[in-house]
Amino acid sequence: KFDSMEEELEYYKAQVAYLKKQYPNL
């Protein structure tokens, strides 16, 4: 799915940033 560990980490960081934007109280 991912070419490298870095890409995987970037993906998860993006997911977390998105969730924080959606749910600031988390």
pLDDT digits (tens, 9 = 90+) for 7-26: 999 999 999 999 999 998 86
pTM for this entry: 0.59
Q: How far apart are CA 3 and CA 6, in angstroms?
A: 8
Distances (CA, A) of 1 to 4, 7, 16, 21, 24: 9, 10, 19, 26, 29
Q: How much is the pLDDT for 26?
A: 67
* Predicted local confidence at residue 24, as pLDDT: 84
pLDDT score, position 10:
97
- Cα(13)–Cα(5) distance, rounded to whole angstroms? 12
Task: Fill in the DSSP letter of residue 25.
Answer: T
- Residue 1 pLDDT exceeds 80: no
